[in-house]
Structure 1
């Protein structure tokens, strides 16, 4: 086994409650169960010696590998080509019951020989609770049983892996090792099950075939609900399926990534646990999912967010956490696993996330934008949600003008981040719209006054005349690519001179051959050592900003170039390094959400610019734009008007 497989050399499989990473060498080196945020069972991705793994590799001195998904599914095929023959491993997880968070989880690995002969060396070496819990293993006719203090694993054999196939089978130090020889046409395999209902058993190959066919059918039926017919169907579909894989079906919450502590810089300390649901992803998720036609998933995430809003109990605390566990609990105490060396020796390895308790004002804009859009689409805002929402908006009115940690969760001290102010403006603006459209009770006049005060503060203090750009925090000259979203959320028209100047400044300082950095840590210290790669979600936001500004040729080129940085399966981690390598947790939901929304926006603008397209037709958009009403001390402005996302595209 390669001690340090690259981040991008992996595929993702899952059952909508947890997930596993499978390397191109046939190793399961990341798997947590029963949930995404459960302790790991296989963790070799973060420590090759102590993390645990499930390896299936040809018994050959040299071989080549290829990896692909079965078309339009999340069933993964890894093919091995040796001098003696060609074999493959098919990895998949049958979807677990969405209504039963305690249901069994099965990881199926089917071995096939398609040409000649091939022998596989197999090693199943679990390391429970991040390698901190010992375990015992016992053998039976049907397979093996692993037991630790908190976890029970059963390893079933497919067609006994015996007789003519089995050449060796032994237990070594708590691990199960075997060698299996296959000839062309032969199929064998293993099924790993958590908390099985019975002892290890012999699984007929036909049963595995049915499980695979059922899994393929599930994904085909799910993807058939997509309405997307644009230019980048393959990449958008893969992103949609990846987002579905990262959704915890019992609650509807979407994790930011199924991994922890994959570094933003190899050897650096920027390593975080992303196996939780961020509130800021809610708005982007809703627009992406509804834009593709996945109403059920959008409703489930909205209901999950509504439950979080209703938990607010009043003064003395933040109404919303930055992130939650998939079941909605908020115990995310951060700790370091000092016994693990980290990905390619990038320590520390962290579990939990201390940023959960930070004040990040953009959280409230994301939540209100999500609930507002859901309300527009007919998804119900209950009386209970509205009552708590009013308290939350009142809290924003009293607290928007505070220093905070910001969208990037910096640990270098709170600042008056412009993006936090922008999203506070969104929170108030969307709440005002919800109240006035439906006649719901609220202090609309007070909300409007505070909303307008935010607007003028951003224009006056978030704008740097010297840089001719909106900046990262009030009174600074530092740029921040989070502000690429200013036109998308309707704060400023995309043809406004101030915005075009900001876009030019970001292009000059934060863009490298189309790839976009979040900010410059040298110019804006974030309390952490080292550097980072370009942030992939920001690159897709840049594409959308270019399209809205009418720079369609540039936007399409940046988008097409960015697609080449996906791994061999169309998956993205958080960042791209200097040599094109994937960095950060993998795959990252925010990146795939941004890809989907960029594709939808770019498709619409390219269609609108085609000869013969009616010139008076506006590009459809989910947002409305409100010019703020005159506030004390501010110049008169126009009243609220509908605002299509980009005005009319002029050829």
Structure 2
């Protein structure tokens, strides 16, 4: 399977409506258009023979290749060092001034020789509709037009008048185009791919440079809004840009990842389509983006969420679905691409997502918590939105006490998941706070009764006396890393003995070095064959939980270790295999959100804790608590702890100010 680059050997570019992956060998092997969740144009990442690609690389052997982002931008530079010279391919997608959906998207590949002389091979092999739609190619002096039954794409040639057919191309029997670009030091040429176009035209170098300059200005201006100047600024800002790249501008929806079908186990069946907006992931984005000062994105999601709330459906169907297409539609029927072999033979390749119809009660807590958090930052819900929120909480009051599928979308049957109950508690708690702080009409007494009932149930049934820990669901003693958020949301104090022993149990069972498993699938069957790697979201959540519990030295060490698992560009997939290889869909929004949250929390605590606290020995374990900063209890009041000052930022999810 050497035809497949490592998942981590990619960078991401995009225009806020779709995105592409660019490998270190100069190949674009994943690109869907006109939207993130549209059929693929290039999909060699999931089938190297039938998926399609756009490759630009030197004709001679490459000694080494490197990738970097132009600082503070989403412009990707792939550098090739050869014995004849050094060349670069600069990839970017110009962002539109309008947020209206469009079928026309441009992908620019600027090809440059920076030293010596170098000739590039250009191979353009589209495979429309996941390789199910054939095409014909027409080559001219201006470029190439590819036409399928339902799809068209033009490739505009970047050249100067004196070039004299610099990139003469040939068409093979598959309808693919092959061309060469001989360059000497200082020359820049290239191609501009435009989906939805039916005619090719020449583009001058100056015009492409103008697109480049405009794209640089866009990203630099956007990132200048960041209020983060702490430690790990480069990694935090790269995560912020990555999240922005995965946001669909017309609706404000955030995709979980721009890819589909990348496996959680090489050769396994855990291959899912992540090109949709999960209520959970997008809710978490409000915390992270507001923590960095990006108010516009947080407000856009609030509007997206409000528009998703629906009337209660039949058969107990709730007012929210767990995920949606990026335009807000709810149809995500799952199908298998039988003609594709999958990444390194990992099949089936699925598009759509059958988990969309699952009942996952935690989404209500995450959604309402994000609304509450946004409210504390001045992004308030108007009257129509408040009425919808009341309807949501009233539905939850009638329906929270039932089995569900849980946060990890297992396919092994419904259970009374502790995390789902925890987030129901959060939903009622934040609803009460919003109603009382703004004097809005609501059945607060009922919500308070349900909140307390959830709390008591978790304490009675979600706590295992044998394990001395909170457990995955009420009929098991299995641990679950989702519960790392219990102190984060204010359900327990980070200094509570029950929480300390839970952390200690997780440390002994779910944590391996700095990496954290979601749960043990052997002990808690999830309805799927095979295994998976450690979940990077959980690893960063563990950092946050340790820091809150006072284990600052250990938290910082684990955070620094986690940074070593990023790829060469600072990007993370969903999981990390035993070998350290990144696996799962890439890049994953959840991971980058958790990185930002952990960095904000850890940076604030490090700024305000005593030097002795920073220098905790490596032997410190969760069960041996060091002095901790003051924290926030479930009722929103500050817990008393005089050993250290309360961090000024970021505020706790449950804080009252």
TM-score by length of 2: 0.93
What CA distance in whole angstroms lies between the structure 1 residues aligned with 2:200 and 2:145?
Answer: 7
SS of corresponding position for 1:217: helix
After superposing the two structures, state which structure 1 stretch, 570-579 or 375-384, moved more.
375-384
Pair 1:159 & 2:129 matched:
no
Partner of 1:479: 479
Pair 1:538 & 2:538 matched:
yes
Residues 619/550 of structure 1: CA separation in 2 closer, same or farther (3 Å cut): closer
SS of corresponding position for 2:436: helix
**How far is the alpha carbon of 1:610 from its aligned partner?**
3.6
Partner of 2:241: 241
**How far is the alpha carbon of 1:398 from its aligned partner?**
1.4
Partner of 2:637: 642
After superposing the two structures, state which structure 1 stretch, 169-178 or 503-512, moved more.
169-178
Matches within 5 A, 1:92-241: 92-102=92-102, 104-159=104-159, 163=163, 166=166, 168-172=168-172, 173-196=174-197, 199-241=199-241
**How far is the alpha carbon of 1:376 from its aligned partner?**
2.3
Partner of 1:635: none
What CA distance in whole angstroms lies between the structure 2 residues aligned with 1:547 and 1:40?
Answer: 42
Partner of 1:341: 341
Matches within 5 A, 1:617-632: 625-626=633-634
How big is each residue's C-alpha offset from its partner over 1:403-428, in whole Å with a ceiling of 9 and x where there is no partner? 11000000011111000000011111
**How far is the alpha carbon of 1:167 from its aligned partner?**
6.4
How big is each residue's C-alpha offset from its partner over 1:84-116, in whole Å with a ceiling of 9 and x where there is no partner? 111110000011344211152100001111111
How big is each residue's C-alpha offset from its partner over 1:410-454, in whole Å with a ceiling of 9 and x where there is no partner? 001111100000001111111111112222222111111111011
SS of corresponding position for 2:88: strand
SS of corresponding position for 2:66: strand
Matches within 5 A, 1:455-466: 455-466=455-466
SS of corresponding position for 1:532: coil
Pair 1:32 & 2:37 matched:
no
What CA distance in whole angstroms lies between the structure 1 residues aligned with 2:259 and 2:313?
Answer: 32
The alignment yields a C-alpha RMSD, in angstroms, of 2.1
**How far is the alpha carbon of 1:650 from its aligned partner?**
7.2
What CA distance in whole angstroms lies between the structure 2 residues aligned with 1:233 and 1:199?
Answer: 44
SS of corresponding position for 1:288: helix
SS of corresponding position for 2:410: coil
Pair 1:452 & 2:455 matched:
no
**How far is the alpha carbon of 1:377 from its aligned partner?**
2.2
Partner of 2:356: 356
After superposing the two structures, state which structure 1 stretch, 309-318 or 538-547, moved more.
309-318
**How far is the alpha carbon of 1:121 from its aligned partner?**
1.0
Residues 378/620 of structure 1: CA separation in 2 closer, same or farther (3 Å cut): farther
Instruction: List runs of 5+ in structure 1 lacking aligned partners.
Output: 627-639
What CA distance in whole angstroms lies between the structure 2 residues aligned with 1:283 and 1:487?
Answer: 18
Q: Matched residue pairs, number?
A: 632
SS of corresponding position for 2:550: coil
Contact in 2 for aligned 1:362/1:422 (Cα 8 Å) = yes
Contact in 2 for aligned 1:264/1:583 (Cα 8 Å) = yes
What CA distance in whole angstroms lies between the structure 2 residues aligned with 1:412 and 1:170?
Answer: 52
SS of corresponding position for 2:379: coil
What CA distance in whole angstroms lies between the structure 2 residues aligned with 1:643 and 1:24?
Answer: 50
**How far is the alpha carbon of 1:619 from its aligned partner?**
6.7
Contact in 1 for aligned 2:467/2:505 (Cα 8 Å) = yes
What CA distance in whole angstroms lies between the structure 2 residues aligned with 1:322 and 1:23?
Answer: 32
Contact in 2 for aligned 1:15/1:93 (Cα 8 Å) = yes
Residues 513/611 of structure 1: CA separation in 2 closer, same or farther (3 Å cut): closer
What CA distance in whole angstroms lies between the structure 2 residues aligned with 1:296 and 1:612?
Answer: 40
SS of corresponding position for 1:154: strand
SS of corresponding position for 2:114: strand
Partner of 1:633: none
Residues 263/494 of structure 1: CA separation in 2 closer, same or farther (3 Å cut): same
Partner of 1:508: 508
What CA distance in whole angstroms lies between the structure 1 residues aligned with 2:639 and 2:318?
Answer: 33
Residues 168/158 of structure 1: CA separation in 2 closer, same or farther (3 Å cut): closer
Contact in 2 for aligned 1:271/1:584 (Cα 8 Å) = yes
Contact in 1 for aligned 2:33/2:103 (Cα 8 Å) = no
Contact in 1 for aligned 2:610/2:644 (Cα 8 Å) = no
Residues 261/430 of structure 1: CA separation in 2 closer, same or farther (3 Å cut): same
SS of corresponding position for 2:604: helix
Contact in 2 for aligned 1:161/1:189 (Cα 8 Å) = no
SS of corresponding position for 1:51: coil
**How far is the alpha carbon of 1:400 from its aligned partner?**
1.1
Contact in 2 for aligned 1:481/1:506 (Cα 8 Å) = yes
What CA distance in whole angstroms lies between the structure 2 residues aligned with 1:355 and 1:28?
Answer: 29
How big is each residue's C-alpha offset from its partner over 1:444-496, in whole Å with a ceiling of 9 and x where there is no partner? 11111111011011111100011000000014210000000000011000000
Partner of 2:296: 296
Partner of 1:86: 86
**How far is the alpha carbon of 1:371 from its aligned partner?**
1.3
Contact in 2 for aligned 1:405/1:414 (Cα 8 Å) = yes
Partner of 1:382: 382
What CA distance in whole angstroms lies between the structure 2 residues aligned with 1:163 and 1:609?
Answer: 64
What CA distance in whole angstroms lies between the structure 1 residues aligned with 2:636 and 2:106?
Answer: 53
How big is each residue's C-alpha offset from its partner over 1:300-330, in whole Å with a ceiling of 9 and x where there is no partner? 0111011112565687422110001111001
**How far is the alpha carbon of 1:375 from its aligned partner?**
2.1
Partner of 1:371: 371
Residues 356/164 of structure 1: CA separation in 2 closer, same or farther (3 Å cut): same
How big is each residue's C-alpha offset from its partner over 1:236-265, in whole Å with a ceiling of 9 and x where there is no partner? 000000000000011111000000010000
SS of corresponding position for 2:341: coil
**How far is the alpha carbon of 1:195 from its aligned partner?**
2.1
Contact in 2 for aligned 1:226/1:292 (Cα 8 Å) = yes
Contact in 2 for aligned 1:364/1:423 (Cα 8 Å) = yes
Instruction: List runs of 5+ in structure 2 lacking aligned partners.
Output: 614-627, 647-657
**How far is the alpha carbon of 1:357 from its aligned partner?**
0.6
Pair 1:558 & 2:553 matched:
no
Residues 424/157 of structure 1: CA separation in 2 closer, same or farther (3 Å cut): same
Residues 333/363 of structure 1: CA separation in 2 closer, same or farther (3 Å cut): same
What CA distance in whole angstroms lies between the structure 2 residues aligned with 1:162 and 1:531?
Answer: 58
